[in-house]
């Protein structure tokens, strides 16, 4: 079996299976409509896809169910880089002829090109279920497993290996091999799966739903949308991230202040206040510091200051935190609402205002 890479840049590694093309040509070298399939194939081979599409559409207008024609149409659409339409054609074909492995295989190739490896895998597993000895589907499935493994590893290691990911090299099947022996593959009528079962109302009028097969143009299933390539979880947008970091920093500053107070560490406690801090009651900074020092360090025993329900609002370099302050010293145990206004000073947040109410 020879393989050959098409020179098209878009699918650089898609394998063309010439030997199979030959088989097909024989299979359909039977009589002749004006718009015959060998002509379509010739046009495909010459890369004249719009003309090929025109011919195959004209062919299908008289034989809308024809598997070979629809297969070629899917192929042409693939070559014309219309994956969504191609997927629709192959999907419908695989529904009408579930015993054919080729449409599944080509669907898988299209899905894989879109990095939808889970769908590719399902399609290939269907192809193998219908034809357990289908070598190309196995090869393709191996590639898809490898891709899925890579994706899983990326998630496991939080890596982005999209740039190192091997080129997609799944083989697109060029021909509907399994029809070559018997050109008259009958479509399985999509009667049952095509329509939802309608539960008759109590008055029991007979519902005569006309299966899609009865019309010339069977209702096309919604074409699978080309899903965007899987994206890495996006890091939070910068401003939001910055804000949560600020919240975090301010909370830490608040916690350090409460801790310093609790352990009567006056240096750390007073150091939590900005130089711009306005002491209450018009005190000077110095007399305020002395008063705090006297109040805090003269307390016998332990002081415990903790807080909960902090509400932070940040405005530039200013952060206002309102919280419940729990203060315990000796037998005194209070809970008050307090507001601290922090200002940024370098990498630190310092208290500029302290409002107890």
Partner 1 sequence: MKPGYKVLLPGLVILAVIGFLDGASESGAPKETGKRVETRAIRPIVAQDSNTAPGNLTPTVSDTGPELMLDRIFGAIEANRLTEALALTEALLRQYPNYRLANLIKGDLLLARVQPINSFGARSNAPADKINDLRAEAIVRLRGYREKPQADYVPRYLLQMRPDQRYAVVVDTRRSRLYLYENDRANGGRPRFVADYYITHGKLGAEKLAEGDKKTPIGVYHVTANLPREKLADLYGSGAYPLNYPNEWDKRQGRGGSGIWLHGTPSNTFSRPPQASDGCVVLTNQDLNAIAKNLQVGLTPVIISNSVEWLSLDDWAHERKELNDTIESWRSDWESLDTNRYLAHYSRRFKSSDQNFEQFASQKRQVNAGKDWVKVRLNNLSVFRNPGKEEVVVVTFDQDYRSDNLNNSMRKRQYWIRENEQWKIIYEGNA
146 vs 191 by CB, closer to partner 1 = 146
83 half-sphere exposure, CB direction, 13 A CA radius:
19
26 vs 152 by CB, closer to partner 1 = 152
Residue 152 found at the interface with partner 1 (CB under 8 A): yes
Residue 146 found at the interface with partner 1 (CB under 8 A): yes
Stretch that binds partner 1, among 51-59, 135-143, 171-179, 282-290 (CB under 8 A): 135-143
**Treating both helix axes as pointing N-terminal to C-terminal, what angle do 101-113 and 135-157 enclose, rounded to 10 degrees?**
30
The token pair at 329 is 């010293």
| DSSP bridge partners of 350 | 343
Number of residues that bind partner 1 (CB under 8 A): 46
**Main-chain dihedrals φ then ψ at residue 60, nearest 5 degrees:** -70, -20
- Cβ atoms of residues 72 and 44 within 8 Å: yes
One residue of 208, 331, 334, 347 binding partner 1 per CB under 8 A: 331
Distance CA(261)–CA(257), nearest Å, equals: 6
Q: Please provide the distance, in angstroms rounded to a whole number, between the alpha carbons at the two ends of the chain.
A: 86
41 vs 140 by CB, closer to partner 1 = 140
One residue of 48, 51, 130, 150 binding partner 1 per CB under 8 A: 150
Residue 166 found at the interface with partner 1 (CB under 8 A): no
84 half-sphere exposure, CB direction, 13 A CA radius:
7
Stretch that binds partner 1, among 72-80, 169-177, 240-248, 340-348 (CB under 8 A): 240-248
Least distance between partner 1 and beta carbon 347 (Å): 15
Residue 149 found at the interface with partner 1 (CB under 8 A): yes
Least distance between partner 1 and beta carbon 105 (Å): 15
Distance CA(293)–CA(295), nearest Å, equals: 5
Residue 142 found at the interface with partner 1 (CB under 8 A): yes
One residue of 6, 165, 266, 328 binding partner 1 per CB under 8 A: 328
Residue 247 found at the interface with partner 1 (CB under 8 A): yes
Least distance between partner 1 and beta carbon 322 (Å): 11
Q: 138-147 long-range CB contacts below 8 Å, 24 or more apart?
A: 139/171, 140/105, 140/108, 140/109, 140/112, 140/170, 140/171, 141/108, 143/112, 143/168, 143/169, 143/170, 144/108, 144/112, 144/117, 144/120, 144/170, 145/121, 147/112, 147/115, 147/117, 147/120
193 vs 310 by CB, closer to partner 1 = 310
Distance CA(130)–CA(162), nearest Å, equals: 33
Stretch that binds partner 1, among 59-67, 156-164, 203-211, 215-223 (CB under 8 A): 156-164
One residue of 25, 82, 122, 138 binding partner 1 per CB under 8 A: 138
The token pair at 336 is 């008050």
**Main-chain dihedrals φ then ψ at residue 74, nearest 5 degrees:** -60, -40
58 vs 304 by CB, closer to partner 1 = 304
Residues between 10 and 39 that touch partner 1 (CB under 8 A): none
One residue of 22, 26, 236, 356 binding partner 1 per CB under 8 A: 236
Q: Give the x/- contact pattern for partner 1 in 287-326, rule: CB under 8 A.
A: -------------xxx-x-xxxxxxx-------------x
- Cβ atoms of residues 162 and 231 within 8 Å: no
Residue 233 found at the interface with partner 1 (CB under 8 A): yes
Least Cα distance to 306 among 339, 245, 342, 262 occurs for: 262
Stretch that binds partner 1, among 19-27, 49-57, 154-162, 340-348 (CB under 8 A): 154-162
Binding site for partner 1 (CB under 8 A): 138, 141-142, 145-146, 148-159, 233, 236, 241, 244-245, 247-248, 251-252, 255-256, 259, 263, 300-302, 304, 306-312, 326, 328-331
């Amino acid at each position: 079996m020879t393989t050959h890479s098409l020179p098209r840049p878009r699918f650089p590694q898609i394998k063309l299976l010439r030997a199979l093309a030959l088989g097909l040509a024989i299979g359909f070298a039977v009589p002749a409509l004006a718009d015959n399939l060998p002509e379509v194939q010739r046009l495909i081979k010459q890369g004249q896809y719009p003309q090929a599409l025109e011919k195959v559409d004209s062919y299908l207008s008289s034989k809308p169910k024809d598997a070979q024609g629809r297969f070629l149409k899917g192929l042409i659409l693939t070559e014309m880089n219309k994956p969504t339409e191609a997927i629709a054609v192959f999907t419908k074909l695989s529904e009408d002829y579930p015993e054919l492995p080729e449409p599944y295989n080509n669907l898988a190739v299209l899905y894989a090109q879109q990095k939808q490896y889970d769908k590719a895998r399902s399609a290939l597993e269907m192809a193998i279920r219908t034809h357990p000895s289908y070598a190309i589907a196995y090869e393709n499935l191996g590639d898809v497993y490898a891709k899925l493994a890579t994706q899983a590893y990326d998630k496991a290691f939080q890596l982005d290996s999209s740039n190192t990911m091997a080129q997609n090299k799944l083989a697109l099947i060029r021909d509907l091999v399994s029809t070559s022996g018997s050109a008259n593959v009958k479509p399985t009528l999509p009667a049952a799966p095509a329509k939802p079962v309608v539960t008759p109302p109590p008055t029991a009028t007979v519902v005569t739903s006309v299966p899609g097969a009865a019309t010339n143009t069977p209702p096309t299933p919604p074409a699978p949308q080309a899903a965007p390539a899987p994206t890495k979880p996006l890091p939070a947008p910068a401003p939001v991230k910055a804000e949560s970091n600020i919240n975090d920093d301010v909370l830490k500053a608040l916690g350090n202040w409460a801790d310093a107070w609790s352990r009567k560490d006056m240096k750390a406690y007073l150091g939590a206040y900005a130089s711009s801090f306005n002491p209450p009651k018009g005190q000077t900074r110095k007399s305020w510091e002395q008063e705090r020092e006297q109040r805090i360090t003269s307390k016998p025993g332990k002081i415990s200051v903790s807080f909960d329900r902090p509400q932070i609002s940040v405005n530039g370099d200013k952060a206002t935190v309102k919280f419940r302050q729990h203060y315990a010293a000796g037998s005194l145990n209070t809970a008050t609402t307090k507001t601290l206004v922090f200002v940024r000073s370098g990498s630190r947040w310092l208290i500029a205002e302290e409002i107890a109410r």
